[in-house]
Amino acid sequence: KAKELSGNQYQFYSSDIVDRSVESVQLENDLYKALDQGGNEFFLHYQPKFNANTNEITGMEALVRWNHPKLGFMPPNMFIPLAEETGLIVKLGEWVIRQSCLQMKRWYDAGLTELVISANLSPQQFRQHDITNVVKEILEETQLPPENLELELTENIIIHNSETMLATMHKLKNLGIKMSIDDFGTGYSSLGYLKDFPIDTLKIDKSFIDDITTNTNNAAITNTIITLADSLNLSVIAEGVEDQEQAEFLIEHGCYLMQGYYFSRPLEAAKLEEVFLKNLSQKG
Ligand code: C2E
Ligand code: MG
Ligand code: MG
Ligand code: MG
């Protein structure tokens, strides 16, 4: 990027760029090491998804965290972009999918056979040539039925609408897994693609939900997404629901599936079991 800047601008930014790149090279090394050592520094939190109609959990999303040996707890936005840039996301992402499936299999065996675990799939991961085989092998290895796994894709995957991309989506879908589009509404993709894609769910981005009760534009966009999902026979879920007003608005407008701090923050597996899953498995 420095090359693009000219004259004074370059002078002004250069030391900052050097500092930051030294830091990110260090972090990249740490990330590489952490993955090489088998991923013990990473862990997953699980955020439940609720059906407000039935008052039940339908599944949970696995969200990765890094317990860095020196820097301590690191949220994903501090290392996922770097992992993307460096290609390390491929290995990290595989670790996430495997751990998610292992955990879901434990819950499945405990009787929670209806739950679906979701893992986020980054664009770089999606573009790796053998992603379908990676997922297939993890499913075989963990013995998790494919319908209990969902992959959350972002619109960025779809932005480069191509034959290869479409073929990959179909191959993944043919494994029997579920697929959703995460952060829906924030990408620059055209809506035309939706009908061609083997997806199950649209996940409305938090940025629309935030001020849904006060901002008529975002309320209108949310309603449009709900209607769109309905007419394409897709499920729709809202992310980032933080209060009762937002939840009520969504229910009134036909969106019953929700995720957000209002219901639960992402939790470690044991905590999730303690708070939510005990009742579920006793019922079933
Ligand atoms: P995302 O997949 O859209 O996940 C939602 C993020 O919003 C999570 O942040 C979640 O903790 C947060 N969130 C959920 N409900 C609320 C709420 O009510 N209020 C607020 N303020 N926040 C809420 P997190 O865990 O920090 O993850 C951020 C992003 O990092 C994720 O966005 C996802 O894009 C990425 N990410 C996380 N784990 C993975 C992973 O294993 N692989 C990949 N490729 N990306 C990941
Ligand atoms: Mg997600
Ligand atoms: Mg999201
Ligand atoms: Mg989001």
Q: Can you tell me the mean pLDDT for 140-149?
A: 98
CA of 77 to the centre of ligand 1 (A): 8
| Mean pLDDT, residues 124-142 taken together | 94
CB 51 within 8 A of CB 13: no
> According to the model, what pLDDT value does residue 158 have?
73
Q: Range with the lowest mean pLDDT among 74-78, 119-123, 161-165, 264-268?
A: 161-165
Can you give the pLDDT at residue 6?
Answer: 45
DSSP helix/strand/coil, 162: coil
Mutation test residue for ligand 1: of 60, 63, 156, 268, the one with most atoms within 8 Å of CB: 63
pLDDT the model gives residue 281: 53
- What residues does ligand 1 touch, defined as CB less than 6 Å away? 47, 63-64, 75-77, 80, 93, 96, 120, 122, 152, 182-183, 239-242, 259-261, 266
pLDDT digits (tens, 9 = 90+) for 251-267: 999 999 999 999 999 99
Separation of 156 CA from ligand 2 center, angstroms?
13
User: Taking residues 98-125, what's their average pLDDT?
Assistant: 96
At residue 7, φ and ψ (nearest 5 deg) are 45, -125
ipTM of the complex: 0.98
pLDDT tens readout for residues 38-95: 889 999 999 999 999 999 999 999 999 999 999 999 999 999 999 999 999 999 999 9
pLDDT digits (tens, 9 = 90+) for 228-253: 999 999 999 999 999 999 999 999 99
Reference 227, options 183, 178, 185; nearest CA is: 185
Residue 13 CA to ligand 3 centre (angstroms): 33
Distance CA 236, CA 230 (A): 8
Q: Which-ligand-closest: CA of 76?
A: 1
Question: In this structure, which residue's CA is closest to atom 41 in ligand 1?
Answer: 64
Alpha carbon nearest to ligand 1 atom 25, residue: 63
CB 178 within 8 A of CB 149: yes
CA-wise closest residue to 184 among 174, 175, 193: 193
Which pLDDT score is estimated for 21? 74
Q: Ligand 4 mean position to 205 CA, how many Å?
A: 5
Burial 205-217 (b: 16+ CB within 10 A, else e): bbebbeebeeeee
